[in-house]
C-alpha cells in the first residue's frame, strides 16, 4: 500500500476550499495551515502562464523529516503516510528545517504539526477532507500499488510532475499538468 495524491493543475481554480476543509476537519489552530494554495504566474503581460497548486506535506517515501528526527516522533505510518507522534516530539524543529517544502509548523501547544493525509478518515475508507470537498474534483487520492485505483489511472493517462524531486525526497503528491 502506497498512499498518494494527485492534483489536476488544469482544474484547480485556487478557491481555498481544501484549505478551509482541512482547518475545520483537523482543528488546525487559527493562523496556521496544513495545506495552502500557490499561484505561479510565468511570463510578461500579455503572454502569461498560470499554474495553481494546492500544496501540502508530500508524504515523501524518503522523508528528510523522518531521517533527522532524533526521537522517532516523525515516522511512517501505514501506506507511507508521514506522521508526527505528539507525545514523542520535543519541539527541536530539525524536521521543519529539513523539509524542502516547508510543510511543517509548530503547533501552539509546542509539538510539530502537519498534514496527515487525514489518516483518521482514510482508515475508514474515506477520502481526505481536502479531496472530498474540492468543488472542481481536481484532487484524487488512493493507493499507487493498486493499478485500478483512481490515482494510478490518473497518473497513467496524464502527464504529471512532483515538486523538487531533485531534493531526493521521493514525494507522493503529484501534479497533473
Partner 1 sequence: MIEEIITSGRMNPEIDPVLHVWGWEIPFYLFLGGISAGILIFSAYFTLRGRQDELPVAVKWMPLAVPFLIGIGLIALLLDLSHVLYFWQLFTNIRWESPMSWGAWTLGIIMPLSMVWIATWIEDIFPKWDWKFDEVKTAIDWIKDYRRYLAQILILLSIILGMYTGILLSAFNARPFWNTSILGPLFLASGLSASAALVSFFSKSEIEKRLFTRIDIILIGIELFMIVHLFMGHLAGTQVHIQAAQMFLGGAFTVPFWVFVVGLGLLLPVVLEILELKHKFIPAIVPVVLIVGGNLMLRFIVVNAGQASRWLY
Stretch that binds partner 1, among 128-136, 138-146, 148-156, 159-167 (CB under 8 A): 159-167
Site string for partner 1, 10-29 (x = CB under 8 A): ------x--x----------
Q: How far apart are CA 146 and CA 84, in angstroms?
A: 26
Task: Report the Cα 113 to chain-centroid distance in Å.
Answer: 13
Q: Give the span between the Cα atoms of 140 and 138, in whole angstroms.
A: 7
Q: Is 92 in the site for partner 1 (CB under 8 A)?
A: yes
- 136 lines the binding site for partner 1 (CB under 8 A): no
Q: What are phi and psi of 53, to 5 degrees?
A: -130, 140
Grid cell of 34 as nine digits: 496544513
Q: Is 68 in the site for partner 1 (CB under 8 A)?
A: yes
In the complex with partner 1, the residue whose CB is nearer, 78 or 86, is 86
Minimum separation from the CB atom of position 119 to partner 1 (A):
21
70: its cell numbers: 532524533
Question: Nearer Cβ to partner 1, position 81 or 95?
Answer: 95
CB of 161 to partner 1, least distance (A): 10
State yes or no: residue 59 binds partner 1 (CB under 8 A): no
Instruction: Pick from 2, 149, 167, 170 the residue near partner 1 by CB under 8 A.
Output: 167
Nearer to partner 1, 97 or 136 (CB): 97
Decide whether 93 or 120 has the Cβ nearer to partner 1: 93
State the residues that interact with partner 1 by CB under 8 A: 16, 19, 31-33, 36-44, 55, 64, 67-73, 86-94, 96-100, 102, 104-106, 109-112, 163-164, 166-168
Amino acid at each position: 500500500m502506497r498512499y498518494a495524491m494527485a492534483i489536476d493543475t488544469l482544474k484547480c481554480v485556487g478557491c481555498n476550499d481544501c484549505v478551509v476543509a482541512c482547518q475545520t476537519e483537523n482543528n488546525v489552530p487559527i493562523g496556521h495551515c496544513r495545506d495552502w494554495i500557490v499561484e505561479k504566474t510565468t511570463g510578461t503581460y500579455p503572454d502569461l502562464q498560470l499554474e495553481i497548486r494546492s500544496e501540502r506535506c508530500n508524504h515523501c517515501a524518503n522523508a528528510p523529516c523522518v531521517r533527522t528526527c532524533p526521537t522517532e516522533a516523525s515516522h511512517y505510518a501505514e501506506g507511507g503516510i508521514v506522521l508526527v507522534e505528539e507525545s514523542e516530539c520535543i519541539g527541536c524543529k530539525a524536521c521543519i528545517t529539513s523539509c524542502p517544502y516547508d510543510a511543517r509548523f509548530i503547533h501552539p501547544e509546542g509539538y510539530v504539526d502537519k498534514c496527515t493525509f487525514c489518516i483518521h478518515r482514510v482508515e475508514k475508507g474515506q477520502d481526505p477532507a481536502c479531496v472530498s470537498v474540492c468543488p472542481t474534483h481536481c484532487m484524487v487520492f488512493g493507493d499507487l500499488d493498486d493499478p485500478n485505483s483512481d490515482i494510478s489511472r490518473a497518473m497513467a493517462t496524464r502527464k504529471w510532475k512532483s515538486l523538487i524531486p531533485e531534493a531526493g525526497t521521493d514525494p507522493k503528491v503529484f501534479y497533473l499538468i
